[in-house]
Every structure is written in structure tokens, then in C-alpha cells.
Structure 1
Amino acid sequence: MERAIGTCKWAWCIGLTIFWASLGILTWPLSPSGRLYLVYARIWSRMILWGCGIRLVADRGGPIDWNKPHVFMSSHESIFDIMALFAAIPCDVRMLAKAELKRMPILGWSMWMAGFVFIERRSTASARRSLEDGAAAVRNGKSIVVFPEGTRSTDGQLLEFKKGGFLLAIRAGVPVVPIAIRGSREILPKHTLLPHAGTIEVRFGEPIPTADLGLDHKVELAARTREVIRGMKGPPQLAA
């Protein structure tokens, strides 16, 4: 029975993804800026969370000016983090994604058309150009979500942070907002296939300014952000 329910949940997720991504491609001429896609992304996210029995709790206690661009640095434990963040962040936001996703039919095409920033991790030169493109997008008013761990944690402990996203924030001169996500690993641990119902909590920390920082401060900024996120997350929870 559990396997059948899990199969139904994945069919729901995949079907919604194909539908909304296709709609984003078809209606892109109506909104080349990607704003309409963002509306779709929020509907898609909430429908997936609802269909999988996932409750979202967003704690936006930090003094964040949602009318200004930021670089959101989030912990990462599950694919459902993506849906939770789209549903929880109430501003014009895109994500920093691995370049492989850009080549994925329908979904990758729609992400590219919406203005997502793709980074080629195997090429330093390409990664640098991607970060420059991301900084330009942020300066033009778009916020960016970055998962600085680079991959999902398997045990709930924060991994070491990669520095690329912090270089992007410093180049753009915008604040870094730490985000701690709790509960998503219990819903779908890494290397498992059956999502469970549960609650995902998204906690926003106070913005960390970067206006007076140089590129050589990236390590310090990453360490400070990681410490804030670790404090907000608390001790790891036991996965189901």
C-alpha cells in the first residue's frame, strides 16, 4: 500500500511539473521577464506540497525588505526544499541551478526561459561567467536562491559551503539572507524514493550586508552564513 501511495505521489509531481513547465514555455511571449512563470512556479509548488500531504510553515521573522533583491542561502536536505522555497519566498526570485538541468526537456527549457542561472561546475571559466550573469540579474532586481552545500545532506548535518554564491552576492552588492529548512529530510531522505507526509519549516534569518565586502571576504561571509543557518536548524532530526 505504501508503495502504491508513493507511486501516486510521484505521478502527481511529474504530471504537475510537465503541465506547468509546458504552460510556462507556451506563455513566455506574454511575460519574457519570467514573472508569469514565477506565478506558475508558486502554484506548482503549493499543489505538489498539498498532493504529497506536506504542510509548509514559513517563519519570516527576519527584517527583510522584500521589495529589494537578495541572495538567499538555504540549507538543502530534499528535493521538496525547492517547492517549499518557491512557496515561502514572496518576491521575484530565481534559483542557481546545475547546468545539467538546462538540458532537460521541458523543465530545463522553461527554467532557462524564466531566467534561472545555470552553473557549469566542471569548468571554472564557465562557472565564473555564470556567476557574473547571476550578479547582473540580481542587480537588475531579481533575487537568487542558492544551495551553498552544492548537494543534499544525508544525515541532517550541514555540509561545507561552496563559495560561488557568496562571490555572486558580493559582486551584486546585495545582502545574503540565511535560510534554514527543517523537516524535508524526514519527508524524503536522500537515496530514497517514497515521500512521506509531514511538515516543512522554512526559517529566514536576518540579512547579512555585503556592500562593504570585497571578493576576498567570501570565506568569512560563507562561514558566518553557515553558522547562522546551523543555529536556526538546531540538532538534526531523525529521518523516517
Structure 2
Amino acid sequence: MSFLVAVLVRDPLIILATIAYGSFSLLVSFFDSDGEKQAAVARAWARMLLRIGGVRIRLEGFEKLTPNTSYVFAANHASYMDTPVVLANIPARFRFLANDYLFRVPFLGTHLTRAGHIPVAQGNAREAVKAMTEAARLVRARQISVLVFPEGGRSLTGLQEFRDGAAYISIKAGIPIVPLALKGTFNILPMHSLHMKPGLVVVHVGEPIATTNLTIRDRAELTAKVRSEVARMLE
């Protein structure tokens, strides 16, 4: 029965909502030089998606965040649902650091580019450093935050090793890095599945870690510290 509800009701509504919000976002992008209007549309889309899918959210640790402060958020990545969950619930103006192949996907790539999200090349160290340096510059210039999935992709087998991009950006920009644990998204939308299931997602914010006295040479140690904190919150 639940499968029929997903196929006959939930999935069509999600597709319609995505087309409607996506088309509106594309239209708005022509009058939105800083990407903030598109970000507002993306948040509205994410909240609608969660509502349609019957996803309940529990927020923990959000009192640790200071309003109007720039952060690098470093989150685990287990499901495509991670994106709408953070869009709908993180109380900050932020952009994603995302795999560059997503920017080549028709329609999606146009949105990502026009909204100011930052592509990072996989397997090309020089281009990756350029992308992270640009992210740090963007954070400083526009006083926004960046959200990174340091595992580099979704995983079927639990928390993977973190790459050091999030640490690099936070040190380069001189802003705190925030460990972020997303629990339950894999159950809502498992890898290789196209059908959302209702359920509970817990978004747990860790203690922001200051980077003002760190150098780029400290990024490996900082990355390990952030991963350890995310792992602890996922237990």
C-alpha cells in the first residue's frame, strides 16, 4: 500500500513541485544578481518536498549558531534527501560546494550556476584548490556561509573518510567550521531508490570550531576533528 501511495500520489506531486519551483527559480534568476531570491525559492521547494514526503524534522544544537555569522558547514552525506533537509533547516545564507558533474546536468546545472553555487572538480587537485580558494573569497566578499559534504559523495556503508576541502575553506576564510550530522535521510530515500518514504530526520549541529589561529598546514588535523565530531553525533 505504501508503495502505491508513493508511486500514485507522492512521486507525481514531488515531480510537479520540482518543475514548478524550478521554473520559477529560473525566471527569478534573471532579476537576482546575488542569488538570494533563488535561495529563497530553493528553501520553499525543499520545505514543500519534505511536507509532501511526510518527513518530520528534529533540530538539535541550533542554539550554538550565532545569527549573521559566516560558517563552513561540514555534513555527512547518505542520501539525496540531505540537500532539501539542509536547505529547509539551516538558518544561514549559504552556497553549496558541489561536484562539477552536477553543473553539466541540463536544467540543474543552470540553476546551480546562476544561484552562485561552487563547482569542484573531482580527481583534479589543482582545480579543486582553485574552487576552494574561490569559495573562501566568496565567503569573505559576500559574508555568506558554505555547505560541504566532505565525503565527496553518498555512501551505502556509513561515514566515509573526509576530504580536507571544508577545512581548507574555513582556514582560508578565517571563519568557524561547524560539524553537521544528518540522521535518518538514508531511510527516507536510500541510495538507488527513487521513492521517498515518510519518517524522522534529526539535524544535529556540533560546536563551531574556530580557525583564526590555524594555517593551511593544520587542515588535516582539523578535518579529522570535524569527522570525529560528526561520527559522535551520528551514534
TM over 0.5: yes
Map of 1:24 onto structure 2: 25
Map of 1:237 onto structure 2: none
**Offset of residue 169 of structure 1:** 1.3
Q: TM-score, normalised by structure 2?
A: 0.93
Deviations 1:119-169 (A, max 9, x none): 1113222212111111111112111110111112213x3110011221111
What is the aligned residue count?
A: 233
**Offset of residue 91 of structure 1:** 1.5
Q: C-alpha separation between the residues in 1 aligned to 2:22 and 2:77? A: 23
Q: C-alpha separation between the residues in 1 aligned to 2:127 and 2:16? A: 33
Map of 1:6 onto structure 2: 6
Q: C-alpha separation between the residues in 1 aligned to 2:229 and 2:223? A: 10
Q: C-alpha separation between the residues in 1 aligned to 2:144 and 2:48? A: 24
Q: Where do 1:202-221 residues align within 5 Å?
A: 202-221=203-222
Q: C-alpha separation between the residues in 2 aligned to 1:61 and 1:21? A: 29
The DSSP-based 3-state class of the residue aligned with 2:151 is coil
- Counterpart amino acid of 1:113? R
- Counterpart amino acid of 1:210? T
**Offset of residue 62 of structure 1:** 4.5
The DSSP-based 3-state class of the residue aligned with 2:17 is helix
Deviations 1:213-240 (A, max 9, x none): 1111111001100111111111xxxxxx
Map of 2:60 onto structure 1: 59
Q: Where do 1:186-197 residues align within 5 Å?
A: 186-197=187-198
Partners of 1:163 and 1:222 within 8 A in 2:
yes
Partners of 2:76 and 2:182 within 8 A in 1:
yes
The DSSP-based 3-state class of the residue aligned with 1:41 is helix
- Counterpart amino acid of 1:134? A
Q: C-alpha separation between the residues in 1 aligned to 2:42 and 2:61? A: 20
The DSSP-based 3-state class of the residue aligned with 1:200 is strand
Map of 1:238 onto structure 2: none
Map of 1:152 onto structure 2: 154
Partners of 1:60 and 1:203 within 8 A in 2:
yes
The DSSP-based 3-state class of the residue aligned with 1:27 is helix
The DSSP-based 3-state class of the residue aligned with 2:51 is helix
Q: 1:98 to 1:161 in 2, by over 3 A?
A: same
What runs of 5+ residues in structure 1 fail to find an aligned partner?
Answer: 235-240
Map of 1:169 onto structure 2: 170
**Offset of residue 30 of structure 1:** 2.5
**Offset of residue 48 of structure 1:** 0.3
- Counterpart amino acid of 2:180? I
What CA RMSD, in Å, does the superposition of the two structures yield over aligned residues?
1.5
The DSSP-based 3-state class of the residue aligned with 1:78 is coil
Map of 1:78 onto structure 2: 79
Partners of 2:162 and 2:227 within 8 A in 1:
yes
The DSSP-based 3-state class of the residue aligned with 2:225 is helix
- Counterpart amino acid of 2:5? I
Q: C-alpha separation between the residues in 1 aligned to 2:27 and 2:227? A: 39
- Counterpart amino acid of 1:5? V
**Offset of residue 197 of structure 1:** 0.7
The DSSP-based 3-state class of the residue aligned with 2:73 is strand
Q: Where do 1:30-69 residues align within 5 Å?
A: 30-69=31-70
**Offset of residue 78 of structure 1:** 1.0
Over 3 Å off, 4+ runs: 1-4
Q: C-alpha separation between the residues in 1 aligned to 2:144 and 2:160? A: 27
Q: TM-score, normalised by structure 1?
A: 0.91
What runs of 5+ residues in structure 2 fail to find an aligned partner?
Answer: none
**Offset of residue 194 of structure 1:** 2.7
Partners of 2:64 and 2:205 within 8 A in 1:
no
Q: C-alpha separation between the residues in 1 aligned to 2:10 and 2:121? A: 31
Structure 1, 12-21 or 173-182: larger mean CA deviation: 12-21
